[in-house]
Amino acid sequence: MRALGLILAAAGLAFGAGAQPQGRMETPWPPLPDAGETEAFSFARSLEYEGVFVVRPRDGSEPIYVSESFMELTVRDPRLNSESKLTVLRNYQQTTQSQFDMTIGRSYPDASRADETAFAGQVLGGGNEGLQAMLAQDPLAPPYVRVRLSSADGSTEEFSIAREAAQRVLGDARLSDSQKINALRTFPFRLPDDVRRRFSTMSKEDFLQAVVQSPELRRQEFVRMREVYEKVAQAKAQSAAAPAAQAPAAAASPAPPPSPQAASAPPWKATPRPRPVATPGAQADEAAQAPDSPPSNPKADHALNRGPALAAALIVAASLAAFGVYLGQRRRL
């Protein structure tokens, strides 16, 4: 519970600073260095995202992205030891998302949340300052109240804020009319005029996207950091997809061996010799030699007969040599 309280306190200070104009928040401490380390984590200013620090826990877990103002508040807090600071930093993204959801839910209702009963108009007088505020339900955006401020010099200003926000200010009995007018005038989450004109025709998704781009929300830290987290998630997804896209293609299967060609006819068949006229003395020779047999070559026949015998001799010799090596090793053993 103590850690949760510290998280909310730090978040409140950081988000309060985020509502101010851009620039480093004024603190009693010297500026935070661009890099540093504690017993539980190291940190360094991000090179990709402006105003963001990257925290790397020493346990090897995922890096943590936090705003500069929140990093400074957490690191400088004397009530937190190194492990407690890491716990606070790890909860920062969830805290920013909760702050975003709460702000959008209260200050930017979409068209589906129109109240059944109309807002009762009200007028506030500013006393000696000459300020006056007239409040009525916005005809273009029913979940909002249209505020018209008039000053003593005759100048006027009109804007729309969520009905719930207006009712919280009007229902606070501790505030005078002048203080209520000032609270309405300085309320940061106004409905943008261009969104107001298109309010009844916008889907919930389009409405939210348009509101997030408004200057009022762009100044908020929980909106800026939400965009950082979206970019970090996209970069992580692209990095994970890159190895799959760069994986080598499957090796092409080897080409099949060439089909065996039909054996060409022996040269002696190309030009058949003229057969001699049979004679009684030559019939015995023809019977001894087949009609299509190649001419006899004693040297070639001898080489062909020696080939298989030589191969068998080499195999036997290799076997005997291996057996001799084996016997020699056995004797040494």
Sheet holding 35-37, edge to edge: 35-37, 41-45, 52-57, 64-67
Buried b (16+ CB within 10 A) or exposed e, 229-241: eeebeeeeeeeee
Q: Torsion-angle region of residue 192: left (phi > 0), alpha (psi -120 to 50) or beta?
A: beta
- What distance lies between CA 310 and its chain's CA centroid? 70
CA angle 279, 280, 285 (to 5 degrees): 85
**Rg, the chain, Cα only:** 46
- Which amino acid is located at 307 in the chain? G
pLDDT tens, position by position, for the chain (333 residues)? 444 444 444 444 344 444 443 444 455 667 889 999 999 999 999 999 999 999 999 999 999 999 999 999 999 999 999 999 999 999 999 999 999 999 999 999 999 887 768 888 899 986 667 889 999 999 999 999 999 999 888 899 999 999 999 999 999 999 999 999 999 999 999 999 999 999 999 999 999 999 999 888 988 999 999 999 999 999 889 888 876 666 565 555 555 555 555 444 444 444 444 444 444 444 444 444 444 444 444 444 444 344 344 344 334 344 444 444 444 444 444
